[in-house]
């Protein structure tokens, strides 16, 4: 399979997961880029961030069209404010963390999320 086909497949799976679960940027793009495209950890994380915005905007549009989410806006605004600060700090830290430690930290978050979902 060509690299272009792999990228497209990763995008399809990520978009599907984002639309269905509200997640997919980091949980799918990062491991897929590392494993199937051979990208290094930092580039995979930066790409995941770039992928999240258009996927989230499209999913939000579909959700708003299909459901009444008026009560959600107050929560979303506060969470977004915190997310902006956290995203800025996280992006700055990404530049300082080695690939090995980034991989370990990301793996720990993925494991914690998996345990939480199972329990």
Q: Tell me 71's DSSP state.
A: T
CA angle 16, 60, 8 (to 5 degrees): 30
- What's the CA gap between 114 and 119, in Å, rounded? 9
Q: Taking the CB of residue 9, how many other CB atoms lie within 10 A of it? A: 13
Q: How confident is the chain (119 residues) per 10-residue block, as mean pLDDT?
A: 92 86 80 93 88 81 71 78 91 90 91 89
Sorted by where each begins, the domain ranges of the chain are 3-118
Q: Taking the CB of residue 11, how many other CB atoms lie within 10 A of it? A: 16
At residue 88, the pLDDT reads 92
Do residues 25 and 14 touch, judged by C-beta distance below 8 A?
Answer: yes
């Amino acid at each position: 399979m060509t690299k272009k086909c792999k990228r497209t497949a990763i995008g399809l799976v990520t978009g599907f997961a984002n639309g269905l679960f509200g997640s997919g940027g980091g949980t799918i793009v990062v491991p897929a880029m590392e494993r199937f495209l051979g990208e290094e950890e930092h580039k995979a994380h930066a790409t995941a961030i770039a992928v999240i915005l258009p996927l989230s905007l499209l999913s939000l549009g579909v959700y708003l069209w299909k459901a009444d989410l008026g009560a959600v806006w107050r929560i979303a605004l506060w969470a977004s404010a915190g997310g902006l600060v956290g995203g800025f700090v996280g992006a700055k830290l990404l530049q300082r963390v080695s690939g090995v430690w980034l991989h370990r930290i990301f793996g720990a978050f993925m494991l914690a999320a998996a345990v939480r979902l199972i329990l």
